């Protein structure tokens, strides 16, 4: 059985717009499943990376340096 995780970009763009207080269009973002947490998504917008948790919380993801 294959499990498919789908994210609705318009909904996520709306959450990001509210968080940033700036209009973000669905075409401007990239959304990927977050392998670290089921039901969570990685959201890329411009040069910033965000994590959207299953509870709907959105936070800026700091870039890790190795």
Is this prediction's pTM over 0.85? no
Closest CA to 44 of 26, 57, 21: 26
- Rounded to whole angstroms, how far apart are CA atoms 52 and 19? 11
| Segment 13-38, tens digit of pLDDT | 999 999 999 999 999 999 998 999 88
Among 60, 35, 33, 57, CA closest to 45: 60
Question: Given this model, what pLDDT does residue 6 score?
Answer: 60
Q: Where are the domains of the chain?
A: 9-60
Residues near 17 by beta carbon (within 8 Å), at least 6 away in sequence: 23, 24
- Average pLDDT over every residue of 34-50: 92
Higher pLDDT, 2 or 24: 24
């Amino acid at each position: 059985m294959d499990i498919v995780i789908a994210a609705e970009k318009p909904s996520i763009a709306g959450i990001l717009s509210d968080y940033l207080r700036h209009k973000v269009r669905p075409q401007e973002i990239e959304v990927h499943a977050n392998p670290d947490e089921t039901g969570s998504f990685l959201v890329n917008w411009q040069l910033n990376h965000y994590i959207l948790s299953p509870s709907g919380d959105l936070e800026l993801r700091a870039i890790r340096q190795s």
